[in-house]
Structure 1
Amino acid sequence: MAHAQPPSWAASGGEPDLIQLSLTQQRLWFLNQLEDASGTWNVPVAVRLRGPVDRTALAAALRDTVLRQETLRTLFVDEGGVPWQRVLEPDEVEVPLRVAAAVGDPAESLAAESTRGFDLAEELPVRATLFELGPQDQVLLLVMHHIATDGWSLDPLFRDLSTAYSARVEGREPGWEPLPVQYTDYAEWQREVLGEVSDPQSLISRQLGYWREALEGIPEQIALPYDKPRPAVSSRHGALVPFFLDVELHQGLTALARRTGTSPFMVFHAAFATLLTRLGAGHDIPIATPTVDRSDEALDDLVGFFVNTLVMRVDTSGDPTFEELLHRVRDMALGAISHQDVPFDRVVEELNPQRSLSRQALFQVVLMVAEKGDTLRLPGVECTEYPVDFPVVRFDMWLGLTEAKSPEGDCLGVSGELLYSTDLFERSTMQSLVERFVLLLRTAAAQPELPLSAMNSRRAFTAVRRRPVRSRTTADSAQQHSSSAQRDRERSRE
């Protein structure tokens, strides 16, 4: 497939240059067109600001950040059914900071603004609102379109915004070094590196060969504990069950990963596959996980859409011990990660599974594991992440786990959320699933030599001290953990 060429006038000087989208952006653009610019692909993030906020400085800092990150000042235009990026010049950019009173429940105001869609051809893929809760108590809500960002981009975004605000309150411009590359450079580089599918020696052809073999015969759908029949078309309405893994369990799982030469992600992946098998899903368990293509350190400070989706297929057959399964997961995960460059939609095209408006192709469940990221830092202002009610789900089930660690690397616990489709599940079923998952993790940490058939038995659980599953019932707990998992959801909404 030859690369598309820009319209002839694009390089003539008569109109601004147009640039190809990255392959992942291209897929998202087409999906957005089908959904008529709904808010499905929005990425909302909110920060509570307690203290004296200089609104003029904050508005200037927002503009500074958008000017620094080209992807946030990009329009996505349609020329003959082909999407192109047009990066606006600084004098074309307006980034208003809207100020509004949070009438009634602040959560409702934030949710309403978070679900409002974008016209990507006419407006920037970012907007900002400052909701007033009380004297020196406000919530800054940033809503971005996923085509311009992902969950991993929130760290560089907050760093830039913090740096710019600190400079503006002192009456100066931010003195940061120019970014070495921009997202449009990445988009062009990605296409160049992957090459053409028609070339059997290209990277994309070789990696597609791996995925053809790895996913051959993959189950069209696994048996989950559904409470309701699957509708013909998914509503994408979801709900959450939050939970928390205490420090002791976090330490035990980390020690297990270290001893077996694996990683916490692999431990959680093996446990999730075990749980699904024990719930009747069979022994061929496809679980999707998001990965991020920031293979060059020059990309570390960029805001952009770098997320890809990998489908990792776990074989739980033969009643292995948990430790044996963990080694299987390690081998499978390492193979998948070494072939992570090909975009997920190209894998779907290659395998050509049966499509449906009611479910995702190739997988129904997602696992996301990450470490807690940074938040905004404004001098003289207490900044804490604030939860946003945005329960949009594109999968049957999404399990997000966020590890909290001290600067020295000590385990501080794991916050988790199970996001599920309300088309398919009752809350009580999902609460029970979370409880079993936590008990299974405790068993795995204490007795990884047990076979999977014993992992969820009463006998196994008597070997570990029972603790109640900690739910986030207090305001502080909800704010700390829900907002972290919100960031994870944005990382995996591919």
Structure 2
Amino acid sequence: MTGLGAVRPLATATQARLWAAEQLTPGTGELNVPVALRLRGPLDSDALVRALRALAARHESLRSTFALDTRGRLRWTAHGPEHFRVEVVDLTDRPDPHAAAQRLVEDVAWRPFDLASEVLRTAVLTLAPDDHVLVCAGHHVVFDDWSVAVFFRELEVLYAAALRGLDGARMLPPLAFGYTELSFEEQRLRSRGTLDDQVAYWAGQLAGAEPVAVPADRPRPTVRTAHADEHAFALPGPLVTRLTEVGRACGASPFMTLLAGFHALLRRWTGQTDITVGTLVTGRTTPEREKLITCLVNTLAIRSTAPKGVPFVDLLTGIRQRTLDAFAHQEAPYDQVVAALPEPAAGRRPLVQVTFELQNTTTDVAALRGGRGELPVFRGLATTAHPVPRLTARHDLELALGTGAGDAELSGRVVYPTDLFDAGTITAVVRDFRTLLDEVAADPHRPV
């Protein structure tokens, strides 16, 4: 890997997009990715700080900054390990340590980042000798859900080593591929025309597509706010099993089947037959990429144009093929895909207004946020997820499904902007989604 601060490679397309988004929403913290853990037991704070510093020394992205060069191109710089700081705060003498801790958690989590000076902040808060909170907040420019999982898996190893006075770096496999190599790899793809070919594919697939026009309870505000709420629900195991069987008969994965169900819901709710739904891919397409802490996510726009009254199995078959093609062209940066489409009419909204996720690769991240999954195990400590309250909605409707409490069950949540929707409307939409899934699971040839 490249030496510390030796070069300033170009930011990847993903980083450039997120950096630009931060400039458009300064001071909001919308792109912060926070996680907090409650640690009960005899925590060795010094060992935890050493472990966090070792993690930053290992991953150059955690001590990086972003800035434009003299030609207006965004570049990334890795600084030395001393650039990474951990705040340690003793709250035991406060009148209400828990309230003080929560204020600090929210400050660390949501304070806006200046990407020219830092991309990650961490704090270790002591409420009592046997009660602590670890809070970490990274900017999305270097932090995604996969990165969060890598961060805490490696922190477990490094903390255990620090307790024993060992060099934790020797207990983790070396990283032969880092952010510098990632940047150079993207430049090679661009120079060979690979990305241009993929962008051209998407331009053809999305030609003439219109945003999904979900019926809102109120007019869209002139200036978008981040005000949001969520509706949680569950899909029972027997229903999920039947849907899986429907998909298997069509050669479709559970992701494709549930995405087709969401398309069918949007067709019924909006009356549109041309539906485009955004979904995220992790970008972890090689073993080397799987080990990185950085943001590699990309948006894929999955479009269906089936006529009214089409049987669900036909809609599913079409979405299956579109999804396979999309994943085969997932390297094309979404902002470049959008730039390749015809210039939208003045005032027209972005193409992707609704999103869908099936979160089946980051169950430990779900646990970190209070859901089901495995939490990090720190020697001698009981670990629980600590709430970091705040929601933001970047789209009109965001549907996410993940591992539920029972066998085969899926938990779900819909995040929505309260500027547009009442809670009762979203409750009704989720109820309709469940009903529709029951119908197509019982009769996959049912018209949708």
TM-score (norm 1): 0.81
**Alpha-carbon distance between aligned partners in 2 of 1:163 and 1:30, rounded to the nearest angstrom:** 35
Cα-to-partner distance string for 1:48-87 (whole Å, 9 max, x where unaligned): 3233222111111111111111101111123333321110
**Alpha-carbon distance between aligned partners in 2 of 1:17 and 1:58, rounded to the nearest angstrom:** 30
Is the contact made by 1:251 and 1:411 (CA closer than 8 Å) also made in structure 2?
no
Is the contact made by 1:71 and 1:87 (CA closer than 8 Å) also made in structure 2?
yes
Cα-to-partner distance string for 1:431-477 (whole Å, 9 max, x where unaligned): 1111211222222223222222xxxxxxxxxxxxxxxxxxxxxxxxx
**Pairwise CA distance, 1:91:** 4.2
TM-score (norm 2): 0.88
AA paired with 2:150?
A: P
**Alpha-carbon distance between aligned partners in 2 of 1:105 and 1:74, rounded to the nearest angstrom:** 30
1:164 paired residue number:
158
1:306 paired residue number:
296
1:395 paired residue number:
395
1:155 equivalent among 145, 149, 155 = 149
Cα-to-partner distance string for 1:280-305 (whole Å, 9 max, x where unaligned): 24111100001122221111111111
Match runs of 1:32-431 below 5 Å: 32-36=22-26, 38-80=28-70, 81-98=72-89, 103-104=98-99, 110-123=105-118, 125-132=119-126, 136-174=130-168, 175-195=171-191, 202-219=193-210, 221-354=211-344, 359=349, 361-371=350-360, 372-374=362-364, 375-404=375-404, 411-431=407-427
Q: Secondary structure at the match of 1:127?
A: strand
Q: Secondary structure at the match of 1:104?
A: helix
**Pairwise CA distance, 1:30:** 2.0
**Alpha-carbon distance between aligned partners in 1 of 2:99 and 2:398, rounded to the nearest angstrom:** 31
**Pairwise CA distance, 1:107:** 6.0
**Pairwise CA distance, 1:400:** 0.8
Structure 1 unaligned regions, length at least 5: 1-12, 197-201, 453-494
Structure 2 unaligned regions, length at least 5: 365-374
Is the contact made by 1:233 and 1:358 (CA closer than 8 Å) also made in structure 2?
no
AA paired with 1:401?
A: L
- The alpha-carbon distance between structure 1 residues 259 and 19, as it changes in their structure 2 partners (threshold 3 A), is same
**Alpha-carbon distance between aligned partners in 1 of 2:399 and 2:88, rounded to the nearest angstrom:** 34
Q: Secondary structure at the match of 1:85?
A: strand
Identity %: 33
RMSD of the TM alignment (CA)?
A: 2.5
Q: Secondary structure at the match of 2:426?
A: helix
AA paired with 2:78?
A: V
Alignment length, in residue pairs? 428
**Pairwise CA distance, 1:278:** 0.9
- The alpha-carbon distance between structure 1 residues 442 and 143, as it changes in their structure 2 partners (threshold 3 A), is same
2:430 paired residue number:
434
**Pairwise CA distance, 1:415:** 1.5
1:451 paired residue number:
447
Q: Secondary structure at the match of 2:267?
A: helix
AA paired with 1:226?
A: A
**Alpha-carbon distance between aligned partners in 2 of 1:354 and 1:98, rounded to the nearest angstrom:** 50
Is the contact made by 2:277 and 2:301 (CA closer than 8 Å) also made in structure 1?
yes
**Alpha-carbon distance between aligned partners in 1 of 2:358 and 2:343, rounded to the nearest angstrom:** 27
AA paired with 1:208?
A: V
